[in-house]
Amino acid sequence: MEKSSILVLGSSGYLGKNFINLCITNKINFSKMSLQSTEEININSFGTIVDFSMLGREVLPWNREMILQFEIQHEMLVKRISANNQKYVRVSSIFDIRNFARNDEYTKLSKRISNNILKVLPKSGAIFYAHAVYGGVSSSSFIDNGILKNKFINESIRDYIYVEEFCRNLIEHTLADRKSFRAFEIGTAKPYLSTEIRKFLLTNNNGGLKTIGNNSEKYIELNKRNLVCSATQPRIHGVSKILLDDYLSEYLVGFRSN
């Protein structure tokens, strides 16, 4: 295998595909493989590993054996990275660190993976806890599914990140010469109410989609029910915030005009 500076795991998923597309655009040298393949391949030649690997929601919670196998394979990977002192970047869900009314098997598995990384790689990697991502290729995000199927029924308040902005920031971090472990919350601090997104799509309002204030009655109500997830919430100990530009209103206008 040709030596590459970056090894991308989980490249067949939504974020992985968009990350690779941006690497190609920027002529960044990389190789890609599945988590399972790392058991058979010598990964020592890669300077940096970017990890998107995760079981699909359609697998959970039906196949306990597959879940256990995934955890074992990931634990082995992290141990090898620790022994080789390689740079490691993991992309994970914001629900690993922020309370939200979702604690399904997928979320529980993601939390266990993140906790193991924090324990085994305290100095050689980083975890990016991403808020809701939308746009790009192969999206099945809340925003894109909502646009296509007109489903914004359940009320929630969240930050929404444009996938290209997220991947660009991830590439910048991956290429930076940093050795110490860091945990990052990636958001916009521009929270939107889901039902307002739906209304915006169904009207010809050109005034822009409005964010919701932390002191509004609806924000307070939904926050009590763990239905708010935004970088406007208090900082979590040991986790730095990275705030990206907000493009949601422009993105929705583009869909509405088509």
pLDDT band at 2 (very low <50, low <70, confident <90, very high): very low
Averaged pLDDT for residues 228-243: 95
Tell me whether residue 172 is in a domain.
yes
Residue 73 lies in a domain: yes
What value does the mean pLDDT take over residues 144-159? 73
* Buried residues in 101-119 as b, exposed as e (16+ CB within 10 A): eeeeebbebbbebbeebbe
Q: What is the mean pLDDT of residues 1-26?
A: 86
pLDDT reading at 200 higher than 90: no
Q: How confident is the model at residue 1 (pLDDT cuts 50, 70, 90)?
A: very low
Look at the block and give the residue holding tokens 């991502």: 133
Comparing 223 with 56, the larger pLDDT belongs to 223
* Mean pLDDT estimate for the chain: 87
The stretch 50-58 carries a mean pLDDT of 86
Q: Residue 65: which CATH number?
A: 3.40.50.720
Whether 167 and 22 have beta carbons less than 8 Å apart is answered as yes
Residue 177 has pLDDT above 90, yes or no: no
Instruction: Note whether residue 181 is domain-resident.
Output: yes
Question: Which pLDDT score, from 0 to 100, does residue 147 have?
Answer: 63
Strands 48-51 and 125-130: unpaired
Q: What is the DSSP letter of 234?
A: P
CA atoms within a 13 Å half-sphere pointing along the CA-CB vector of 3: 4
Cα–Cα distance measured from residue 179 to residue 177, given in angstroms and rounded to the nearest whole number: 7
Q: pTM of the predicted model, to two decimals?
A: 0.91
> How far apart are the C-alpha atoms of 17 and 55, rounded to whole Å?
16
Q: Where are the beta strands (DSSP E) in 34-82?
A: 48-51
Strand partners, 50: 8, 89
Greater confidence, 178 or 212? 212
**Given pLDDT bands bounded at 50, 70 and 90, which one contains residue 179?**
low
Identify the pLDDT of residue 162: 96
With beta carbons less than 8 A apart as the criterion, state whether 194 and 157 touch. yes
Q: In the predicted model, is pLDDT for residue 70 greater than 70? A: yes
Higher-scoring residue by pLDDT: 113, 58: 113
Position 1 in a domain: no
Domain that holds residue 155: 6-257
168 within a domain of the structure (yes/no): yes
CA distance 101 to 134: 20
Record the tokens describing residue 92, joined without a space: 């994970």
Q: Is 51 helix (H, G, I), strand (E, B) or coil?
A: strand
Strand partners, 74: none
pLDDT over threshold 60, residue 84: yes
Residue 160 within any structural domain of the chain: yes
Domain count, the chain: 1
| 116 part of a folded domain | yes
224 within domain boundaries:
yes
